[in-house]
Structure 1
């Protein structure tokens, strides 16, 4: 990866512009996805604020590259998202374009030329600029002006103010754009609503013949194909009334200056860079200021390279840029001149990555909202023919694995000699690596040892691609959790064991048992490290322990129980519980009081198959099973098989349910009890008497501190 660092020039520049400090600007991705078009992704930090910036480097020397201004759904007043514009025009990439008033009819503020045709004029605003491309493929950022006039049959003329403009007010003078003016609308304006609906309109056909005049109101239809509508008021209306009538042949001439045979032209805002240097922003930034999503364009000194920039803003992964930071970043790209395009909520970029038939949105809208419908965009197109001759293939999959992890790798695209995507659905291919650090199985790579390796895709037609992969060791694993598909098992049965690693970065992955050491205690069985299956041959004293270790660094454990053992699991403050993995629901949740966990007594009785009786007069609960247990509400004394004992917590009634402290109940009934502090889970284990006779203490059995346990009781029996 390439890293751009500060130089003396940058430090001096910051002193002049009072810009923020850059921590780094790192190029993290580069790919030529279409003739003359390269996508470059930068991860940039300004003043500890991270920004993801996508740059499209566009080489106008390449004959296969074409740029087009794209208007919404095809015409102005028809807004559309960046994604839908790209889909409609089959663009290789597309980014949002010119500024516009979101409250008005939907036309750009500045001039625009599409396929050599002028379809909008610049508003009378100061310091607005345009990007133009000449017929000989030279890119120019300049200020553009509009001029034109209507000449009546008697040779009297009147100036034209603009083409396809929503109403607005001039910078500086505050003049209203649709008063004392002639505004022209052609058939690129799709709406029947135009400018000021109270103004007079004149319909002129392609031959200059006046077909209709509508005094003081708009004509009730959109501009017919090939015709013009003139909207006039006040002095301009007087000109029409005095010099033009239906049937007259008039002349309507207009254009922009300068115009070096422009085939492409789109407007923007103020300059960001001039003569390779950042420049102060001249426009009012009350609305544009702050750290936002940004869109901009720059050109090289030889006018042959265009740089389209989109910075994601106000999302979890990218804070965006200030205008000063945007200017600074573009000088780092080496542009000669650059201007700001519409940003903020309008910013979005989609790219058809090399070999892909579908587009990827590489810059998301602010706050990850839905894409805004905008009036225009800049589209990138591949004009070369499809050759059908395969040139390259690529695949996706993780660049980093942890030891024991299996990564899925798949061919995702291929392209012909002119970089058009090709259908690979019928292609055969396989993966291979010369390294013994990993094992390839069809589309999966199993990491066996730490280190670096190269994975290669080999297609049957001779194409190939490679990817560098890093395998991390056990030290990248924070915790190891061992789970089984069965908790209770009988001799002769098989269970599957799964090890899930939580990595230092929070990612969770399943590890192959091949890289882990296995140990089974207090039961006997046969372990298959290939499949992760364990065949139990003896359940011993009823409770077994599985331990998986990795390199002496990580360890995870799980318990197994004989099928004759009853296992009850419940969680504090939750009504859901399980008995031998069968889910059920309590009508009252366990809770903690005075550092003791209390559970409903009827739940304990039913789960263990005990008889329960309630004596209303004495407020006494009796549990009858292998032992007889009697508890009294409000008393810490309890009786087990006629022997009186004491506990430090009293049974109580809550919400008409009798709750009892679980640790004392478990001990009285001869149950094992375990507590998981992290999950607040209580586990009761009832081992049959025949197994208890042979039971030996388990060194790894979790202890349950008295300070952590106590239990609730059910309603009076």
Structure 2
């Protein structure tokens, strides 16, 4: 029940009391160059990096707090600040740990199984170790084996030593439960049986560029210990040095490998001494198989010069710059250029009296604007942090916590990549050692939001006097619901109508309530099917999963029971989430399947043709070229033979190298010079196969539309996969005016968070297609011109005058017309619902929902706002002409002198 995995505090019997074991941490830093390369460090150094003054306009409001376990509290905050004259808001989550409480503790979580050179998500490490809350931890080299940059101690055992870098602070808690934040160096010594000695440079370190010393390479002329926590065969990779290695078991040398690595991983309980240069000469001159080798080491504070025995620490985790000191924003201890911008942030700190540890995560997602480091300092001082440091942020920032009465942790908020959690090297976990107590309270667990017709199961869960989960399932609770929006029976609730109810469960003398909201149509901003177009052929069957988005921003899968379907132009049925076309009405080339939910609707357009193949790169007759925005970015763009599952076909390959540049960088694969390739008709969606390179860069397409405007299509906000993957992109709300030209597909490496992404890579694309309903659903629509004059009961269609029974009018500067005559002239039909006073207009690929006296309307299932609303005059419904015609793809011209409206298609 939340106890730590003993793997996390492994003992290394070959080391004496003042010893460290292995390491693992989380983040992103620098790439070690090979000999002959002088590539820049991703952590640039600056001895005069100073924090700006705290933002005077920064304010913090606590939104909520909830106990996680005895001694640990989850607190959510809202922050408000001003950037470039505009007010912005965001959210931050803080786990406050009370070190005066004997049942709660913090410790380091490491990779998989407590090992270095492995990586795992924050949530995965929390689940493995039994943490009740956790955040990501230290920075790490994303191209390395998976070891932390800073030092790491767990249970008094050193897992990784600090790197020789300036201004890198660490957070620690002593075994007498006192928090410490300081900058540390490592000092160690090897002693041979003959008494000869040689300095020990570190334990379980990846290769890096040291700062402030004489060596360019961390492992040159140096000796490092690698324990069994280092599971990788290379110790380390890309070190620019050839090793001499020594296997030590039970303090006795059992193997020596001159000028070559031992071809083994480190055996359990043993360690491998890895040496080079002068250190290797020491090995060859003084170490002998069968003799003993001893080592001692310690930490030393850079600020006080005092030694710190690692065995006195409960834990230590490395970080980056100091942020807060003595309750005020501190001068940054090293350059923060590579970790600037407004990002998700992770930080650690403690209170002035040393009682509370603050585990901090600032959100950057659709609900929160992220923080700069200076703003993070303001946030930390606002909530009571006396001293604090920065941990790895950006895409690595992840927090999980165990809600009250639950048995496992969940994601506290969406990361910069949504619900995806980055695999990292280490994290900080919060643990409980409390015994099981008596039942203190119960709570209802289940969804707080339902849709009409949806069924959901609720359960009763309990927590004890230490706020840890306790089983109350056998109590057989009684359930009830206030109001008529939800019915409930034995914990199964059914949403009946829109509204909010209190769901109540009673078990003996204890009871619990939770609020459940049933969303109605007025609570939604969109209702969309993942399939927007489909073939109009008898027997065709298409999957139509429908999602609703609430006004709060939540996305909800709409259950089949919540939808009512109507078919126009064909007969069909819905079952198992699929629409099957049974027969097509005579003469119909475009049909519609309309899904309705409590007055909110969306449509799937069925037409003679669906997806249109656009480019498969098999027989291209136009050129491709690599271009970039920066002279230092190099690469290639060419059609090449595919490999693996694409063997035997051709693909467009884009390779790039951005290592010589900084700032926002682009690598383009340009189609057909500056002309591009034509997309001939209105496209509602795009499909493309992409071979990803796990670079975490951004993949986009650039289009020039019929008006000459440039539009950008996000193919993937993050390239977070390897191998081939099919991407489907909704273009219905893009605003692109067709016909258009696809000019280029390209990779973007933005400046913010650049230390997290690869600067080299190769992506490939294949099988680009577009769904262009206008090629079929709009092909038969009439073309021409129609004109109407205000107050006249006639209209001229393609030169022929015809009578209309209601004249157009002008009201409050807007022209209103009966929609029937517009559709008669230009195709389409309208459906009128007398009860709801709604008009659904269907034309080509467009489904437009209008409501009398309401300025809001729906276009293809998405709520939008207009300046005017339909109205009823003399029993006839009139619609705003410009709004309707423009949404349906028609153009309108107004002649002021004659008060004449001309519509063209």
TM-score range, shorter chain: 0.5 to 0.7
Deviates more, 1:327-336 or 1:27-36: 27-36
Q: 1:456 to 1:158 in 2, by over 3 A?
A: same
Match of 2:410 in 1: 360
Correspondence list, 1:257-272, <5 A = 257-259=307-309, 261-272=312-323
- Verify: 1:244 aligned to 2:287, yes or no: yes
Correspondence list, 1:610-629, <5 A = none
SS at match of 2:245: strand
Following the alignment from structure 2 to structure 1, what is the Cα–Cα distance between the partners of residues 295 and 842? 82
Match of 1:679 in 2: 841
Q: 1:228 to 1:505 in 2, by over 3 A?
A: closer
CA contact (8 A) 1:415 1:421 kept: yes
Match of 1:414 in 2: 462
Match of 1:391 in 2: 440
Correspondence list, 1:194-593, <5 A = 194-195=235-236, 196=239, 198-206=242-250, 208-256=251-299, 257-259=307-309, 261-313=312-364, 315-368=365-418, 370-387=420-437, 389-395=438-444, 410-411=458-459, 413-430=461-478, 455=502, 457-466=504-513, 575-576=590-591, 589=778, 591=781, 593=783
Following the alignment from structure 1 to structure 2, what is the Cα–Cα distance between the partners of residues 116 and 273? 26
CA contact (8 A) 1:456 1:464 kept: no
Q: 1:584 to 1:68 in 2, by over 3 A?
A: closer
- Verify: 1:183 aligned to 2:230, yes or no: no
| CA displacement at 1:375 relative to structure 2 | 0.9
Q: 1:374 to 1:636 in 2, by over 3 A?
A: same
Match of 1:77 in 2: 117
| CA displacement at 1:191 relative to structure 2 | 1.1
Match of 1:169 in 2: 209
Cα deviation per residue 1:427-473 (whole Å; 9 max; x = unaligned)? 4334568x9899976576999999xx994734223222345799999
SS at match of 1:185: strand
Cα deviation per residue 1:70-111 (whole Å; 9 max; x = unaligned)? 110021111111111112112211111111111112111111
Cα deviation per residue 1:321-357 (whole Å; 9 max; x = unaligned)? 1000111100011111000111112111111111112
| CA displacement at 1:168 relative to structure 2 | 1.4
Correspondence list, 1:135-146, <5 A = 135-146=175-186
Following the alignment from structure 1 to structure 2, what is the Cα–Cα distance between the partners of residues 438 and 577? 31
Q: 1:447 to 1:397 in 2, by over 3 A?
A: farther
- Verify: 1:38 aligned to 2:73, yes or no: yes
Following the alignment from structure 1 to structure 2, what is the Cα–Cα distance between the partners of residues 42 and 205? 52
Following the alignment from structure 1 to structure 2, what is the Cα–Cα distance between the partners of residues 379 and 79? 15
Following the alignment from structure 2 to structure 1, what is the Cα–Cα distance between the partners of residues 550 and 196? 81
Cα deviation per residue 1:220-267 (whole Å; 9 max; x = unaligned)? 111111112111111111222221121221212223232371121111
| CA displacement at 1:681 relative to structure 2 | 5.8
CA contact (8 A) 2:445 2:461 kept: no
| CA displacement at 1:297 relative to structure 2 | 0.2
SS at match of 1:229: strand
Match of 1:527 in 2: none
Following the alignment from structure 2 to structure 1, what is the Cα–Cα distance between the partners of residues 469 and 359? 23
CA contact (8 A) 2:786 2:798 kept: no
| CA displacement at 1:57 relative to structure 2 | 0.4
Following the alignment from structure 1 to structure 2, what is the Cα–Cα distance between the partners of residues 665 and 154? 100
Structure 2: where are the runs of 5+ without partners?
A: 1-49, 300-306, 528-547, 557-584, 597-604, 609-775, 788-796, 806-818, 848-872, 889-905
CA contact (8 A) 2:454 2:494 kept: yes
| CA displacement at 1:383 relative to structure 2 | 1.1
CA contact (8 A) 1:82 1:349 kept: yes
Cα deviation per residue 1:613-653 (whole Å; 9 max; x = unaligned)? xxxxxxxxxxxxxxxxxxxx99959xxxxxxx9999xxxxx
Match of 2:575 in 1: none
CA contact (8 A) 1:81 1:374 kept: yes
Following the alignment from structure 1 to structure 2, what is the Cα–Cα distance between the partners of residues 273 and 163? 29
Following the alignment from structure 2 to structure 1, what is the Cα–Cα distance between the partners of residues 436 and 119? 31
Following the alignment from structure 1 to structure 2, what is the Cα–Cα distance between the partners of residues 477 and 319? 24
CA contact (8 A) 2:51 2:330 kept: no
Cα deviation per residue 1:534-562 (whole Å; 9 max; x = unaligned)? xxxxxxxxxxxxxxxxxxxxxxxxxxxxx
- Verify: 1:64 aligned to 2:226, yes or no: no
Following the alignment from structure 1 to structure 2, what is the Cα–Cα distance between the partners of residues 55 and 680? 50
Following the alignment from structure 2 to structure 1, what is the Cα–Cα distance between the partners of residues 523 and 219? 69
Deviates more, 1:17-26 or 1:155-164: 17-26
Cα deviation per residue 1:384-422 (whole Å; 9 max; x = unaligned)? 2334x42212236898999x9999894463212332323
Q: Normalized against structure 2, the TM-score is what? A: 0.52
Q: 1:679 to 1:46 in 2, by over 3 A?
A: farther
CA contact (8 A) 1:437 1:449 kept: no
Match of 2:192 in 1: 152
| CA displacement at 1:507 relative to structure 2 | 9.3
Q: 1:674 to 1:265 in 2, by over 3 A?
A: closer
Cα RMSD between the aligned structures? 4.9
| CA displacement at 1:377 relative to structure 2 | 0.7
Match of 2:93 in 1: 54
CA contact (8 A) 2:61 2:79 kept: yes
SS at match of 1:325: helix
| CA displacement at 1:46 relative to structure 2 | 2.4
Following the alignment from structure 1 to structure 2, what is the Cα–Cα distance between the partners of residues 432 and 383? 36
SS at match of 2:78: strand
SS at match of 2:378: helix
Q: 1:174 to 1:85 in 2, by over 3 A?
A: farther
CA contact (8 A) 1:569 1:577 kept: no
Following the alignment from structure 1 to structure 2, what is the Cα–Cα distance between the partners of residues 508 and 382? 34
Q: Normalized against structure 1, the TM-score is what? A: 0.64
In the alignment of these two chains, the number of paired residues is 537
CA contact (8 A) 1:35 1:419 kept: yes
CA contact (8 A) 2:200 2:224 kept: yes
Following the alignment from structure 2 to structure 1, what is the Cα–Cα distance between the partners of residues 274 and 366? 48
Structure 1: where are the runs of 5+ without partners?
A: 1-14, 482-500, 510-567, 598-632, 638-644, 649-660, 684-697, 711-717
Match of 1:106 in 2: 146
| CA displacement at 1:588 relative to structure 2 | 6.1
Which protein is bigger by CA-based radius of gyration?
1
Cα deviation per residue 1:551-598 (whole Å; 9 max; x = unaligned)? xxxxxxxxxxxxxxxxx9999xx810589x9x986776553544669x
Following the alignment from structure 2 to structure 1, what is the Cα–Cα distance between the partners of residues 786 and 219? 80
